[in-house]
Amino acid sequence: MTNIFEQPWLLLIVAGVVFLLVAVFRDALPPGRAWLFWLLPIVIAAAAFGLDYLVQTDKEKIETVLAKASKAVERENIGAMQPLISKDYRDSVHLSREALLEHFRERLSEPVIEKIVPAIVSLDIKSPDATVVFTARVMFDPKGPVYEYRKMMLFKLQAELKKEAGNWFFSKVEIITIDFQPAGWQFTQGNPGDIFN
């Protein structure tokens, strides 16, 4: 079902139908106030864009958190990652938020990633929890240690998020596959030469 807070199209279609109805029945409208009826489709169209712009749904908030996390990793900015991760974070390798951030500090201490392109595969929201499965196409930095082994990799990940005080935070992230092969966090440990050979 279309959500009028995420897409303006439903209300724009309604505005179009109202415009057609006003055009068809314009002769039956009161003579002095007919112009008021012409404002109705304009008001509906403005409401469509206003609702889309002003109201951010949980889905849109989660997409924003995912985009911010991808940019933070891409820019090797640990400080930008920290506020996106729940204080209760825990995954199969990292037992805390601090352990995950330390992992990123070690792996991103030199140029590694040039660009990340995330794409959501599935999203299941049962507020205050959400599960998102997404892919991340990672292009490696030509000056980094991984580039000589791989120029690009496709990761598939599953993230669990928690809503706290109106904001969404990562509470768990697991790597499902790397280049369509079953994988996990252990594949991101160690020397790139050992990992890719």
Q: What is the pLDDT of residues 48-95, one digit of tens each?
A: 888 777 877 889 899 999 999 999 999 989 999 999 999 999 999 999
Question: In this structure, are 157 and 117 located in the same domain?
Answer: yes
What number is the average pLDDT over the span 136-145?
Answer: 91
Question: In this structure, are 97 and 47 located in the same domain?
Answer: no
- Torsions phi, psi of 58, nearest 5? -60, -40
Separation between Cα atoms, residue 124 and residue 130, nearest integer Å: 6
What number is the average pLDDT over the span 6-29?
Answer: 82
In a domain, 3, yes or no: no
What token pair was written down for 98?
Answer: 């601090």
Count of domains for the chain: 2
Question: In this structure, are 110 and 159 located in the same domain?
Answer: yes
Give me the residue label for tokens 């998102």. 132
The amino acid that residue 143 corresponds to is K
Question: In this structure, are 66 and 31 located in the same domain?
Answer: no
Tell whether the torsion through CA atoms of 80, 85, 87 and 90 is positive or negative. negative
Report CA-CA distances (Å) from 113 to 31, 110, 123.
67, 9, 26
Is pLDDT of 17 > 60? yes
- Residues of the domain holding 117: 58-196
In a domain, 49, yes or no: yes
**pTM, to two decimals:** 0.76
Is pLDDT of 195 > 70? no
Question: In this structure, are 81 and 62 located in the same domain?
Answer: yes
Give percent above pLDDT 70 in the chain.
93
